[in-house]
Amino acid sequence: MASSFTKWLVAGVLTALAAAPAAAQGTVRRHLVYFRDKAGTPYSVTQPQAFLSARALARRTRQGIAVLPRDLPVTPAYVAQIRAVSGGPQVLYTSRWFNAAVVSCDSVTLRAITALPAVRSAVTLNRSFQALPAFTPPTQVVPSVSAATTARARYGKAYRQNEQIAAIAMHNAGYRGEGMQIAVFDAGFPGVDQISAMQPAFQEQRVVGTRNFVDGGTSVYLRNSHGTNCLAAIGGSQSGFYIGSAPKATFHLCITEDVNSEHPIEEANWLAAAEYADSSGVDVISSSLGYTDFDAPSTSYTYADMNGRNAISSRAATMAARVGMLVVNAAGNEGSNPWHYISAPADADSIMSVGAVDSLGNHAYFSSYGPTSDGRIKPTLSAMGFASAVLAPNGTAFRGSGTSYACPILAGMAAGFWQANPALTAQQVILALRSTATQANAPDNTMGYGIPNFVSAYNALHPNAPLSTEGPVIPSGVLGIYPNPSGAGPLTLVLPTTLRGQALTVRVLDARGAVVARKVLPATNFSETQLQLPALAKGAYTCEVSAGNTRQNVKFVQQ
């Protein structure tokens, strides 16, 4: 198969991504139909709440981004005209930014559609469609969990990939992605709703949206496990086994990729997912997808097309950046192949394209090179993508390689950095991480601006209140708390086994012994639980946690 996505699975020494079983094909043609204008639209830029969520509008307001005519939905009457054409065309979804619709129909019907006065042009996106393969849920494996007395033990196999970019220090400072919304675009998420390291996201209702742009509908816990691997690198949260780079973030899961074939329809799916993410109020898009060549008869790209302006997905990524989302995309795994260069949409302007390095910070041989064909430096930044730790659908941790994994690892850290610096725009987040990365003074087209570091970037913005790179060391069998000293964010309690499995009563006492806060936390079998306290004055406090007849105390300092 001449799929760039599939080649990433082979040439980039990625593992555990077996192809889905073959399924019966039905001939389905999908086309991107462009409209001439948005005349007669019932929508208005002065009433954006009709098509954008309050969270989407708040994201734009914070960054000074106006709602423009390009944001208006397509004219409903034009969609109705297509549906009225004989031949039974199906309008699968529409695009606000491209003023277009993805339509399923045969060639005769397409000619009738392009003859409509409202239609400007149309391009065919695919020639066939792979039906949804049968899916067998994986047998779940209960991982062995350590006592989690050190950062290395708490993070398990994911320790180095987080430590390399100072994501552990970020977590210790109280920034784990709380309140940040991340959309993950991929080929499927089987097992995500079952594996233990992802259960906190479901228990805390942090998976808030799912969309399947390949098959339609909202079922996403199926198809290819690549998305499971990538999501876990961000959202995994099981202390003593595996912790991702933004374990407390909120997620939207979108299937855009069909690994059974490669055609531009998948780029149109990427576009539709980006517009869904925009309207939902997403902050960060993490996309470990790339496009260079397509299956016949679709026309493949050339390196000259990698200018950020030609590919559908690259144009979509640029639009996503313009409306204030931080787009993080894998650079590609073509570094040792004849193609050599980055793929679309990593060539897009104003996004963070991520290359891969090993645990020592050396360029991974397969990681795609820049520049873009118009001479811009790519990748933007690099993160650990060689022998990265990710999770399989059955819950086991394994090591795989590819910029596909470097991308979500860095996307989670970028989300936490934005959480810590909410006044920044998405473009300022990229600039802050880029300007303090390891190659900031001598960027190249191998690793871009180098490996970013949360602490370095944070301290550059907060020189009078710098963070430490040290993390807490919590003795086994006793109650722990971090970050300590604490700041404005939530605290995390590290629970000994005697405090698990029962509802917890928490009291916070000041230095005089007066109770300043009380909380009741639900029972958990996890070794960590979050504690959100009201604003506390600076000073020393005692946190008392009890469950049944067991009571333990731990002291902390509020800065």
Secondary structure of 5-16 in HEC code, one letter for each residue: HHHHHHHCCCCC
Q: CB neighbours (10 Å) of residue 340?
A: 13
Closest CA to 92 of 68, 107, 74, 108: 74
Q: Report the alpha-carbon distance of residue 345 to residue 257 in Å, rounded.
A: 13
Q: What angle is formed at CA 174 by the lines to CA 168 and CA 175, rounded to 5 degrees? A: 70
Q: Report the alpha-carbon distance of residue 182 to residue 413 in Å, rounded.
A: 11
Q: Report the alpha-carbon distance of residue 363 to residue 446 in Å, rounded.
A: 7
Q: Which of the residues 171, 226, 252, 263 is marked catalytic? A: 226
Q: Measured between alpha carbons, how far is residue 97 from residues 69, 273, 314, 486, 538 in Å?
A: 9, 12, 13, 43, 48
Residue 284: DSSP 8-state = E
Q: Which of the residues 225, 279, 368, 404 is marked catalytic? A: 404
Q: What angle is formed at CA 198 by the lines to CA 317 and CA 525, rounded to 5 degrees? A: 155
Tell me if residue 462 is catalytic.
Answer: no
Q: How far apart are the first and last CA of the chain?
A: 57
Listed in order, strand segments (DSSP E) in 458-531 are: 480-482, 491-494, 504-509, 515-521, 528-531
Q: Report the alpha-carbon distance of residue 408 to residue 413 in Å, rounded.
A: 9
Q: Report the alpha-carbon distance of residue 271 to residue 296 in Å, rounded.
A: 22
**Both tokens assigned to 58:** 């708040």
What is residue 426's three-state secondary structure? helix
Contact of 115 with 243, CB cutoff 8 Å: no
Contact of 204 with 173, CB cutoff 8 Å: no
Tell me if residue 186 is catalytic.
Answer: yes
**Both tokens assigned to 221:** 């816990």
Residue position matching structure tokens 């860095």:
410
**Both tokens assigned to 360:** 């020592």
Q: Measured between alpha carbons, how far is residue 499 from residues 200, 522, 525, 540 in Å?
A: 18, 11, 9, 23
Q: Which of the residues 4, 31, 171, 186 is marked catalytic? A: 186
What is residue 63's three-state secondary structure? helix
Tell me if residue 258 is catalytic.
Answer: no
Q: Report the alpha-carbon distance of residue 389 to residue 230 in Å, rounded.
A: 10
Q: Report the alpha-carbon distance of residue 185 to residue 134 in Å, rounded.
A: 21
Residues annotated as catalytic are: 186, 226, 404
